[in-house]
Amino acid sequence: MTGSSEQGPVVAAAGADEVEISLYAARQKIYPRSVSGVFVSWRWVLVWLTQIVFYGLPWLEWNARQGVLFDLEARRFYIFGLVLYPQDFIYLTGLLVIAALALFLFTAIAGRLWCGYACPQTVYTEIFLWIEKKIEGDRSARMRLDQSALSMQKFGKKWLKHALWVLFSLWTGLTFVGYFTPIRELTIAVTALDLGPWQSFWVFFYGFATYGNAGFMREQVCKYMCPYARFQSAMFDKDTMIVTYDEARGEPRGSRKRSADPKQLGLGSCVDCTLCVQVCPTGIDIRQGLQYECIGCAACIDVCDDVMDKMGYPRGLIKYSTQNGMANGWGRAELIKRGLRPRVLVYSAILGLICVALGVSLFLRTPLKVDVIRDRGALARMVEQGYVENVYRLQLMNATESDQIYSIGVEGLPGVRVASELEMAVASTQSRAVAVRVQVPPGAAQPGSHSIHFLIRSNGGDAVQVKEKSVFLVPR
Ligand code: SF4
Ligand code: SF4
């Protein structure tokens, strides 16, 4: 993989024998040209899909509450019918493992598929560019506008663009915070100018990040900030699909009339129109080979296919292919066959297994969590009739959507009993802490520490039972 530089190092004579070399290269603004085609359409499908989900999800209701809400304050996550407590952290871990493995799998098959189509940086840059194009025009109009002197017209266009960007960014920030605070309450608080300090901070922080990354930083986030861009090449091999230029077919490049025969002119299929460079959001020339800046967006494929159509040449001068495919001239069938290589099959098998395991464990999950903590104030005490008593604090977490009454029992020592309330009501999706007194008759256990188990049962229709271990201390 090679890297392209926008501007070479600056060399300046600093003295008779000394030469000072500046390694700093100023950013040159990129003005991507509009393009249409199959891959651009796919990107827009994904822009719509991801954004409908992102902006729409917090507004969905479920059992008179927000369907998806990560309530950090109450330490509870709601995902429609699923109510998760911090004790369910394993499921989040499972989801992260699935996301990482899916990224490995798709990268091994088709390179930077995530970057080119679904990454938030790509998606928001696409939306911001769309707004920019609607107000300032396409590539050449935007370049002219930026080079022109300040005028009322230029000021108006720039003002309108930034105003829309800011509005969109703040809406994005508000939606983001709406996943952690009920979005309806949040919207009311915004309209009443009564937003809390932390909510205000996160709305503005996330909004500012969106505005800065999609409006200004753009390709620099992919080139210099994204860690995935740095290590994804380790997941590539010679059978990974990448956006490639068919050098054997395209070179020598050169302009010509549409009616001219390239063979007679000694030219390849590339008409050197540079449109593939003009549409590239990272400003690289794919004809120089695979470069780490390429995010695999396939805009150059769409525009080059268009050029090929106009010239009456076959499509595919720039196309999705593999290094092996290009070297051996393989067709689609061979590429697909090579795509199903051991690495891909192993990733797929592990991914499938983890998905099934997570699904089964979620299905079988007990909707009741119990934490048992011994009362540290009084380890053990003698009560009436010589009974030994230990006190515990039970945290009962109801992970169902209905109110529950739980019965509390204990086992593990002869004659052991619960001397406090035997039943406890806990409202739907709520948790409740209760003090539980456990007593053992005199002489039933030797002095020392003994293992006991609390048995918590729900008395509802779908009875569930949780067994939690603890210790009972008998004093000397
Ligand atoms: S768009 Fe196609 S024909 Fe035009 S310069 Fe790029 S590779 Fe050559
Ligand atoms: S080289 Fe082509 S695929 Fe790569 S980023 Fe540029 S336009 Fe997208």
Task: For 411-439, write each residue's pLDDT tens digit.
Answer: 999 999 999 999 999 999 999 999 999 99
Closest-CA residue, ligand 1 atom 8, reads: 270
Ligand 2 close to Cβ of residue 203 (< 6 A): no
- Tell me what pLDDT residue 5 has: 42
Residue among 292, 273, 272 nearest 282 (CA): 292
Range from 170-184, 229-243, 387-401 carrying the lowest mean pLDDT: 229-243
- Tell me what pLDDT residue 64 has: 87
Specify the ligand 2 atom closest to the Cα of 318.
2
* Distance of CA 354 from the midpoint of ligand 1 (Å): 44
Above pLDDT 70, what percent of the chain?
A: 96
Specify the ligand 1 atom closest to the Cα of 300.
1
Average pLDDT of the chain?
Answer: 91
Q: Is a pLDDT exceeding 50 seen at residue 3? A: no
Instruction: Taking residues 52-74, report their average pLDDT.
Output: 94
Instruction: Taking residues 339-361, report their average pLDDT.
Output: 94
Phi, psi dihedral angles at 445 (to 5 degrees)? -145, 145
Q: Is a pLDDT exceeding 50 seen at residue 250? A: yes
Please report which ligand is nearest the Cα atom of 111.
2
What is the rounded CA–CA span in Å between residue 331 and residue 390?
A: 76
Ligand 2 close to Cβ of residue 298 (< 6 A): yes
Q: Is a pLDDT exceeding 70 seen at residue 337? A: yes
Please report which ligand is nearest the Cα atom of 279.
2
Chain-centroid distance, C-alpha 333: 33
- Tell me what pLDDT residue 461 has: 63
Residue among 434, 473, 433, 429 nearest 451 (CA): 473
Q: Is a pLDDT exceeding 60 seen at residue 449? A: yes
Side chain identity at residue 386, one-letter code: G
What is the rounded CA–CA span in Å between residue 186 and residue 12?
A: 57
472 and 454 in contact (C-beta within 8 Å)?
no
Q: Is a pLDDT exceeding 70 seen at residue 297? A: yes
Radius of gyration of the chain (CA): 32
Please report which ligand is nearest the Cα atom of 281.
2
Q: Is a pLDDT exceeding 50 seen at residue 303? A: yes
Ligand 1 close to Cβ of residue 456 (< 6 A): no
* Distance of CA 294 from the midpoint of ligand 1 (Å): 16
- Tell me what pLDDT residue 15 has: 53
